[in-house]
Amino acid sequence: MITVSNLNKKFDDLTVLESINFSVKKGEVVCLIGPSGSGKTTLLRCLNLLEIPNAGSIMIGDKTVSFGKKAPSKKDTRELRNFSGMVFQGFHLFPHKTVIENIIEAPLIVKKKKKEELIREGEALLKKVGMFEHRDKYPDSLSGGQQQRTAIARALMMKPEVMLFDEPTSALDPQLVGEVLRVIEDLAKEGQTMVIVTHEMSFARRIADKVLFMDGGYIVEEGSAKQVLEQPSEEQTKKFLQMIEDE
């Protein structure tokens, strides 16, 4: 499903990703954990080409894009992005559009589908994420959790092969975190392939088939959730988990 090979990323002279190699199988949930500044979000953004790597390659589905001196073409970028849906820390909803208008906007423009058909699909997704009764509300009247559930439905409207989540609960009040995590857990049970940057260790323990611990732009440790979170072999991983536990 996803194969990342020898990926490197620099911002000017600062190397933020170095020799990144990992794979994600269809239906697998992979959680990226690690301290702030370790490269987790940059790696996720590289998977969707929101950041362009300096070297290496990414294969998603049957599409492979290689990086080097030449930037990927618009066609390659579009085809790679078609495989994935992205959910950000902030909700990035259109403030002047209702919930249902927000989630049908992209397929309306990109896939040129009929609006009536998209509304039916959108309402089904809103029921799935518990937002149907809010379909005609505007984002500023919603809680953070409701906005994030709308953002998840919006990403799902494009029927992505893989969902990418960048700290999906970090902007939420503690009492709203659970409602968003439940939606993501339901997607995992349905077999949705996902790559999730998260600081919620108990959530990662429940949901992840694989955990990657990152530090300093490297993948330091990789394994099952039980292996990495409960029996880490690397000293950096042990120190990070102890620090999280002490907070």
Q: Average pLDDT of 5-23?
A: 95
Residue 196, domain member (yes or no): no
How high is the pLDDT of residue 91? 83
Number of structural domains (the chain) is 1
How high is the pLDDT of residue 111? 74
Question: Dihedral angle at the C-alpha atoms of 70, 74, 76, 82, nearest 10 degrees?
Answer: 150
Residues 58, 47: contact at Cβ < 8 Å? yes
Given a cut of 70, whether residue 246 has pLDDT beyond it is no
Crossing angle of the two packed helices 174-189 and 144-156, in degrees rounded to 10: 20
Please give the mean pLDDT across all residues of the chain. Answer: 92
pLDDT tens for residues 31-64?
Answer: 999 999 999 999 999 999 999 999 999 998 888 9
Residue 20, domain member (yes or no): no
Residues 90, 147: contact at Cβ < 8 Å? no
Percent of the chain with pLDDT over 90: 74
How high is the pLDDT of residue 247? 61
Residue 70, domain member (yes or no): no
Given a cut of 80, whether residue 65 has pLDDT beyond it is yes
Euclidean distance between CA atoms 11 and 110, whole angstroms: 31
Sign of CA dihedral 226, 228, 234, 235: negative
pLDDT confidence bin for 69, thresholds 50/70/90? confident
Residue 99, domain member (yes or no): yes
Residue 44, domain member (yes or no): no
Given a cut of 90, whether residue 94 has pLDDT beyond it is yes
Residue 164, domain member (yes or no): no
How high is the pLDDT of residue 245? 77
Domain that holds residue 114: 94-159
Residue 63, domain member (yes or no): no
Residue 192, domain member (yes or no): no
Given a cut of 90, whether residue 114 has pLDDT beyond it is no
pLDDT tens for residues 139-155?
Answer: 999 999 999 999 999 99
pLDDT confidence bin for 78, thresholds 50/70/90? confident
CA distances from 170 to 33, 130, 140, 174 (A): 13, 20, 19, 9
